[in-house]
Amino acid sequence: MRIENWELSIGQIFCLCVFLTITMKKRDNNLLDNFNYRVECEDFLLYELGRLIDEDRASLDDEEFRRVIDEGIREHVETRLDVRAELAMGLRAAGARPLRMVHVVEDIEAPLSSLAPIVQSYTAYLFRRLEECSGKAADLVGPIADRLFDSLDDRVAAEAALDALGSIRSPVSARVLAHVVSEPMLEEDLEKKAYALVRAMWPLPRHYIAYSLKPHTHEDLPFRWFQLMIDCDEPSAVDRILEEVLAHAENPDFHEDLQALIGLLGQSRDPRTEEKIMEVLNHPDTPEAAAELLERFLKTASSSARPGGGAGTNSRTTLDRLHAANKKYLAAAKLLDSARKADSLRKLDELLNEEPGYPFALMLKQWISASAQS
């Protein structure tokens, strides 16, 4: 658990300069030079980047370094509509040709980590941001976290440290609390307290948890993390649990943990839970051991606790609305790119009547207006 303050050494700054120089040479005429991806200094990916620099692994040829970049693009660009919309409008304003890259950025279902200009500009941005944030992160949380981990056997001190961490609503304190509940290191009532604190901070710990679970290299499964995702109506919770089943079902050492995880599916309010389970069961590559675990769950789950039996979640409803709005926006953008500006504006106005704050529509209208005045 990396929580300490960090500063860049002269050697590390030299590495940054070399990396940025090479990156700049590779990205001649990159329309995204100096784009602000709005990554906070407390974002844990900056900690990961600093660690990889320490280990002399800051290269796109390094698997973990590339995973940091890919996950960062997914979290900081793909899922943040305001940043994604600003990126698209920047490309339009710069006269990006052909428009294929603009269309990919504007389609929220399209991944962006395969677009070289975005990978290059985002990577260079992270290095600049790391240098800007050097020495500023975790100033308050680090000493408290150290005190907690040094006093796990001292109930009074541990509880005081938990209270202090819970009072600091930041990504760093959320990560520390998430780490605490991932393993049985506290008395049961203190663990429940830590769980309640980290749950109250959701979604601050979400990215750290998702990133840590992705490689499936864990020796045991942090049940509390999956419980957090289910309790907090994380849209990807069911998918994450099913991923673990597929990854570990053939190892008998994981069966007890997997049965506990699968039991959480009965508490999911994702309306597609049962559908997702059936998709896994019907897939030809699903291991027999995984199918047996899931079939046993479906047979024993009571009808009242049937997965997906609720009315759905607010997060799922919001997600569906965003996808519907994006389809309408793409139709309006297509009209504009076909030189049918009046029709495009009409579609944008209709969309904004339904979704007044939709970032893509707002920015495209502003861009059209600015283009008409220039």
Q: Which one, of 323, 330, 334, 335, lies nearest residue 361 by Cα?
A: 330
pLDDT of residue 27: 43
What are the φ/ψ torsions at residue 251 (nearest 5 degrees)? -105, 110
Separation between Cα atoms, residue 273 and residue 289, nearest integer Å: 20
Q: Which tens digit of pLDDT belongs to each residue from 332-359?
A: 999 999 999 999 999 999 999 999 999 9
Sequence-separated contacts (24+) of 183-190 with Cβ below 8 Å:
183/222, 185/152, 186/152, 186/158, 187/155, 190/155, 190/158, 190/159, 190/162
Helix, strand, coil percentages (3-state) for the chain, rounded to 5, are 70, 0, 30
Separation between Cα atoms, residue 161 and residue 189, nearest integer Å: 15
Arithmetic mean of pLDDT, 252-270: 95
What does 228-259 look like in DSSP terms, one character per residue? HHHHTT-TTHHHHHHHHHHHHTT-GGGHHHHH
pLDDT of residue 136 exceeding 90:
no
Residues 6+ apart with CB under 8 A from 306: 266, 274
Chain-wide mean pLDDT for the chain?
Answer: 88
pLDDT of residue 31: 74
pLDDT of residue 28 exceeding 80:
no
Q: Which one, of 5, 45, 211, lies nearest residue 125 by Cα?
A: 45
pLDDT of residue 251 exceeding 90:
yes
Separation between Cα atoms, residue 292 and residue 354, nearest integer Å: 45
Separation between Cα atoms, residue 152 and residue 143, nearest integer Å: 15
Instruction: Record the tokens describing residue 154, joined without a space.
Output: 């001292």
Cβ–Cβ < 8 Å for 216, 244? yes
pLDDT of residue 178 exceeding 70:
yes
Query: Could you tell me the pTM of the whole model?
Result: 0.82
pLDDT of residue 373: 79
Helices 223-231, 188-200: crossing angle, 10 deg rounding: 40
pLDDT of residue 176 exceeding 70:
yes
Q: Which tens digit of pLDDT belongs to each residue from 301-312?
A: 755 455 665 544
The sign of the torsion formed by the CA atoms of 180, 186, 191, 194 equals: negative
pLDDT of residue 139: 67
pLDDT of residue 211 exceeding 60:
yes
pLDDT of residue 310: 53
Residue 14 pLDDT level (bands cut at 50, 70, 90)? very low
pLDDT of residue 313: 53
Instruction: Record the tokens describing residue 277, joined without a space.
Output: 């389970």
State the Cα angle at 120 between 115 and 124, rounded to 5°. Answer: 150
pLDDT of residue 25: 47
The sign of the torsion formed by the CA atoms of 213, 153, 146, 229 equals: positive
pLDDT of residue 140: 84
Instruction: Record the tokens describing residue 210, joined without a space.
Output: 């998702």
Cβ–Cβ < 8 Å for 353, 332? no
Q: Which tens digit of pLDDT belongs to each residue from 68-126?
A: 999 999 999 999 999 999 999 988 888 777 688 999 999 999 999 999 999 999 999 99
The full set of domain ranges for the chain reads: 10-133, 140-207, 314-373
Residues 6+ apart with CB under 8 A from 218: none
Residue 51 pLDDT level (bands cut at 50, 70, 90)? very high
Q: What length is written for the chain?
A: 374
